[in-house]
Amino acid sequence: MSKKNIICLATLDTKGDEIQYIRDIVQARGHSPIVIDCGTLGEPAVVPDIAREEILQTAHSSLEEVRRAGSAKNASEIMITGLRKAIRGLYDSEQFDGIIAIGGSIGSNVASAVMKDLPLGIPKLLVSTKVGQAGAQGYVGTKDITIMPSVADIQGLNRLTKQILKNAAGAICGMVEISDMVPISQGDNPIVVMSMLGTTSQCGLQVKSALEDKGYEVVIFHAIGVGGRALEEFVGIEPVIATIELGINEVGNDLFGGLATAGPNRLEAAGIKGILQIITPGHSGYIQFLGPDTIPSRYKDRDIIFHSPQGTAVLLTYDELKVLAIQIADKLNRATGTVKFLIPTRGFSAWDREGEIYYNPEKNDLFIEHLEKGLKSSISVRKIDAHINDVEFSDAIIGEFLQSMG
């Protein structure tokens, strides 16, 4: 096992003893810690490998300027700017293999902002006092950041904080070590991206299996908001050759206030890139919330599906489906590459199959009608007499894809 370089990031004026404890464990494991100070107030309790002044110089600032910033928020934004440049420079020159940070409110925000700027795959671990109160989503975003709640406040070393920090140090060491033990071959297989939910997974898994048999690598994103954002980012920066959409519900969530929103730019990255898009109306008739208490009062009289304790769905109305169809057509019309829209006329999700309580072919027909009206003539629309999870429909997707690929 080769020696690894691990960035240890913290405000050394308040978390110096704690980061030194992690530094000692990393060294004992045979690796090289790179301690970076992101504090701005008191004097550092331990000597860093990269001082705060050096970080701020990267941001064309100084410690005096940061202390005059007027608020902790303004000061942290300057520090984030410097850290992003400095740590990205270290990454680009292959000078570290993983990063661990510890922090309270400000420290967690600073560290997570830096980690979100790093590519997928580089080990990232944040020990935070704020996870239980604020949740993890704001700190993670669309990146593979591992969050460890500190349980106790990170203010000194005691039997509890030592155990948490020891586990964290062990975790980041394990993450960087595993790259030698289990190497991942990138391969040359063309990448296809797919969106999917549980209600369309039967179709998605059939398509995935068939395309992988043909030599494609299929990357699936769960269309619950963060999945769609990650999909759009991935398509934008990776050598993706096509997208297959079996979960377009995130567009409706953004339009009508659902929690599974991927933002206003969903269904756009592939079109900008000019790659093949195979679109379906998968799960389009619903918007998602967490528990029933998260559903806005304006939706309380709607048909509601209680999927799980942390998963409820609200059915869209006829008028909302019209708006959704027009919005999707507008997005697809702006695409610079080939777009094919495949429609399963017997239902768009597991919840609206014939015989199920939410089966409503009139609603589906209305959506299809307004979609066809809105789409430009160059976009192919094909209707298949099947449910989205029927093998006939997955075969149609596979056929269209392979034909388009030549």
Q: Rounded to an integer, what distance in angstroms lies between the CA atom of residue 283 and that of residue 321?
A: 12
pLDDT digit string, tens, across residues 337-388? 999 999 999 999 999 999 988 999 999 999 999 999 999 999 999 999 999 9
What are the angstrom distances between the C-alpha of 302 and each of 295, 312, 343?
10, 12, 26
Backbone angles phi, psi at 14, to 5 degrees: -120, -20
pLDDT digit string, tens, across residues 111-135? 999 999 999 899 999 999 877 555 5
**Cα(first)–Cα(last) distance of the chain, in Å?**
45
The CATH number of the structural domain formed by 191-405 is 3.40.50.12030
Q: How many CB atoms lie within 10 A of CB 260?
A: 26
The CATH number of the structural domain formed by 5-181 is 3.40.50.12020
- Spell out the domain ranges in the chain: 5-181, 191-405
pLDDT digit string, tens, across residues 185-209? 567 899 999 999 999 999 999 999 9
What are the angstrom distances between the C-alpha of 317 and each of 241, 258, 350, 351?
35, 14, 18, 16
Tokens of 325: 């169809």
% of the chain residues with pLDDT over 70: 98
- Quick one: DSSP state of residue 130? S
Q: Rounded to an integer, what distance in angstroms lies between the CA atom of residue 5 and that of residue 27?
A: 10
